Amino acid sequence: MKILICKKIILLLLMMVTLSTSHASDLFSHTVITLPDDPVTEEPWKKTINTQEDWESFFYARTAHIFSLQPFIAMEIDFNTYHVLTGGLGEKPFGSSLSVEQVIEMDNEIHVVVLDIQPGLDCGVDIFGPAYPSATVLVKKSNKPFKFIVSQLIEQCP
């Protein structure tokens, strides 16, 4: 219980620091898209997707190796109004994940604020191999470049 409260306090402080040091003109409304699998890349990456064809190519690359009784279907996106921002942290310890906290439109760019959640040293997850955490969001269309603002949280295991 104390760990959960500490995590929430740390997250709140990180968000306050991020907001107080920026000059945000607008908090973007966004939708987090959960992919069937994270892209396996050793290095950090990011990508803007502006067409249905590029979206489907990106989405189905995540499903090619997954056996499922239900087929994965890429949702239709109105790319005249929206686009997809996606990126990953590269190779991280097993159990790592990304959580999208908010999307902020700045004067010259869009900030996707994410929390990089990693297991602590006492979690014993090294034997399971690496993880490749990524985040994908649907936002209103903009010509501004985007960047991820990453804060890190280390989970403590019992």
Predicted model pTM: 0.76
Q: Residue 25: which residues within 8 A CB-CB, separation 6 or more?
A: 105, 106, 107
Among the ranges 26-30, 78-82, 154-158, which has the highest mean pLDDT value? 78-82
Mean per-residue pLDDT of the chain? 80
Q: How far are the Cα atoms of 10, 21, 109, 119, 150 from residue 153, in angstroms, in the given order?
A: 8, 20, 25, 9, 10
Report pLDDT digits (tens) over 125-140.
Answer: 666 778 899 999 999 9
H or E element in which residue 119 lies: strand 110-119
Dihedral Cα 127, 94, 88, 35, nearest 10 deg: 120
Looking at per-residue pLDDT, the higher value among 19 and 31 belongs to 31
The predicted structure's pLDDT at residue 52: 97
Coil/strand/helix, residue 93 = strand
